Amino acid sequence: MKHFGRWLLPGMRVKRWLVLILLGSCLIGFGAFIVFSLDFQQFADSIQVILYRITGTRLGPSLGIVMLIAGLMLIIYATRHLAKSVAATMLPDSAQHLADLFYQRRQLKRGPKLVVIGGGSGLSVLIRGLKQYTSNLTAIVTMADDGGSSGRLREELGTLPPGDIRNCILAMANTEPSLQKLFEYRFTEGSLAGHNFGNLFLTAMTAVNDGNFEKAVQETSKVLAVGGQVFPSTLENVTLVAETQDGQLIRGESAIGHAHAKIRTVTLDPPHPNSMPEVLKAIREADAVILGPGSLYTSIIPNLLVMGISEAITSSPALTVYVCNVMAQPGETDYRKASDYIKTIIQFLDRNVLDYAIVNTGQVIEKWVKSYSKEGGAPVEADLADISKLGVKIVKNDYLKYQNYVRHDEIKLAEDIIELVISEQYSLEQRRDLAERLQKE
């Protein structure tokens, strides 16, 4: 009630409609008194006397019916215009489809609770697809990025890398296209050349929130009308370290990606950084936890090295799904088989809790194969028989989409994930009940 008076300020363009709604309500009330009055007979008679003096006609009970209809029509008319007036201000691009928008958002709130884990462009592709089906979406993003604009900001200002977080926020946003373009804009000249506006915005937002990166992410999410949640996997300043097959140590996510050396394992420095409580809570309450798609060693696994995340995944009753890459990355993953990716993921979990692997079985167009082969890349082989031997169920489809590079088709991928989660809902409830009983014991 304390803010109600603001609706009456000049220029709000709602007062006239509020007055008409009030007038309509009065007409309905008076009409009801006249038609149904017992204890209010004297009041009704008085109204009729006044109207008789004005019109010279005694209308009887029909007066009440007329007033009821008139009041109802007035309320409907005023309410429609009030809704349009508010929508034109708050949702200028959607004012003509307010009912559709309302219905869509109500449906999205009923969608499954999904947690997606990774980083880079792969995770943002997945988010763009899933947000069409649910707003109960939480992205857990790696903080190991040290290349490009993020790396420069991290080195010069000591801030956490904003790049992967920015990508996920933009992918989950429901805002004006022009605002999206602004946050994606990359400077090409001067001292800011190479910097992304969104990265600079997140860095500035961190500064005005006294260095609180978590608060900066939350405030940026509000600016861009993010439907779900985006969390960094850790708030500690970490460096990714890779050990190659020949025993060499490579420090830094960007250096690992360009080393073209076969990787044996990766660690974080400092080891076992703390995770955010919100991250662990989201995993515990999820209907499904989805790993990938994305760079295996530099986008997905760094999240599993953060204290508590791997344990939360293995103890959660949620369905656990890994989305395998469609193309191998030269150097970082010279694998050619999907089963190799899955074995590596299992290695960094407490135990094998992967329920499903989503694997592309589409054939990559030859010209794209040739283009990737110049840098040592190749399609990931869908060795379905070897995957099955790992005790992991398979969801297969042609997920290929060509847009400057070969990537997943976000709509096909999202559709299969949602269908999978819905089909497993019954078994999920059983596992959730079991987990609750074990906790009590």
Tokens of 419: 């269908």
113 and 59 assigned to the same domain: no
- Contact (CB, 8 A) for 14 and 7: yes
Number of Cα atoms under 13 Å in the Cβ half of residue 87: 16
Closest CA to 376 of 292, 261, 250: 261
Beta-sheet strands, E only, within 212-355:
229-232, 239-244, 249-251, 263-269, 288-291, 319-323, 327-328
* pLDDT of 435: 60
What amino acid occupies position 254? Answer: S
Helix, strand, or coil (residue 287): coil
Q: At what angle do helices 410-423 and 120-130 cross, to 10 degrees?
A: 60
* pLDDT of 64: 63
Q: What is the 3-state secondary structure (H, E, C) of 211-222?
A: CCHHHHHHHHHH
Q: Which of 57, 90, 123 represents a domain boundary (last residue)? A: 90
* pLDDT of 282: 96
H/E stretch holding 393: strand 393-397
Cβ atoms within 10 A of the Cβ of 378, count?
Answer: 16
325 and 425 assigned to the same domain: yes
* pLDDT of 96: 44
| DSSP result, 47-85 | HHHHHHHHHS---TTHHHHHHHHHHHHHHHHHHHHHHHH
The Cα-based distances of 393 to 3, 272, 342, 399, 406 in angstroms read: 54, 30, 11, 17, 25
Q: Is residue 102 part of a domain?
A: no
Q: Report pTM.
A: 0.77
- Contact (CB, 8 A) for 116 and 123: yes
Q: Percentage helix, strand, coil, to 5, in the chain?
A: 55, 15, 30
- Indicate the burial class of 243 (C-beta count within 10 angstroms; 0-12, 13-18, 19 or more): middle
Beta-sheet strands, E only, within 112-170:
114-118, 137-141
Per-residue pLDDT of the chain (441 residues; tens, 9 = 90+): 455 455 555 555 566 767 777 777 777 776 666 666 544 455 556 655 665 666 555 555 666 677 677 778 877 877 777 666 665 655 544 444 545 545 455 567 788 999 999 998 899 999 999 999 999 999 999 999 998 899 899 988 989 999 999 999 999 998 777 888 888 999 998 889 999 999 999 999 999 999 999 999 999 998 888 989 999 999 999 999 999 988 899 999 989 877 777 888 999 999 999 999 999 999 999 999 999 899 999 999 999 999 999 999 999 989 999 999 999 887 677 777 999 999 999 999 977 789 999 999 999 999 999 998 888 889 999 999 999 999 999 999 999 999 889 999 999 999 999 999 988 875 666 666 656 655 565
d(CA 309, CA 353): 13
Closest CA to 147 of 104, 199, 225, 213: 199
Q: Is residue 225 part of a domain?
A: no
Tokens of 101: 């928008």
243 and 313 assigned to the same domain: yes
111 and 20 assigned to the same domain: no
73 and 112 assigned to the same domain: no
Strand partners, 249: 243
76 and 122 assigned to the same domain: no
Q: Is residue 270 part of a domain?
A: yes
Q: Is residue 178 part of a domain?
A: no
45 and 135 assigned to the same domain: no
47 and 124 assigned to the same domain: no
Closest CA to 354 of 117, 77, 119, 100: 117
Closest CA to 386 of 424, 357, 352: 357
Q: Is residue 116 part of a domain?
A: yes
Q: Is residue 162 part of a domain?
A: no
53 and 14 assigned to the same domain: yes
Q: Is residue 297 part of a domain?
A: yes
- Residue 353, Cα to own-chain centre: how many angstroms? 24
361 and 276 assigned to the same domain: yes
DSSP-H helix ranges across 318-365: 338-347
Q: How many structural domains comprise the chain?
A: 2
Q: Is residue 218 part of a domain?
A: no
Tell me, what CATH number does 336's domain have?
3.40.50.10680
Positive or negative torsion for Cα 338, 339, 344, 348: positive
Helix, strand, or coil (residue 99): helix
* pLDDT of 430: 63
Give Cβ neighbours of residue 200 (< 8 Å, ≥ 6 apart). 153, 192
H/E stretch holding 149: helix 148-157
13 and 120 assigned to the same domain: no
255 and 378 assigned to the same domain: yes
Residues spanned by the domain of 13 = 8-90
